Amino acid sequence: MRKMTEHALLVTASLMMLGGYAVAQQSQPNPVDMTFFVTSVGPGNGADLGGLEGADKHCQALAKAAGGGDRPWRAYLSTQAPALSDPRFVNARDRIGAGPWQNAYGIVIAKNVEDLHSTNSNLNKQTAVDEMGRPVNSRPATPLKHDMLTGSRPDGTAFPGPPFPDMTCGNWTKSGPDGAAMLGHHDRTGPSTNAWGVSWNSSHPTLGCSQEKLRPTGGDGLFYCFAEK
Predicted confidence (pLDDT) at residue 198 exceeds the cutoff of 90: yes
| pLDDT(72) > 60 | yes
Q: What is the mean pLDDT of residues 127-144?
A: 95
Contact residues for 140 (Cβ-Cβ < 8 A; gap 6+): none
pLDDT at position 229: 86
Nearest 5°: CA angle at 56, between 53 and 82? 40
pLDDT at 195: 86
Cα torsion 139, 145, 146, 147 to 10°: value is: 140
In this prediction the pTM is 0.87
What are the chain's domains? Answer: 31-227 (3.10.100.10)
Q: What percent of the chain has pLDDT over 70?
A: 89
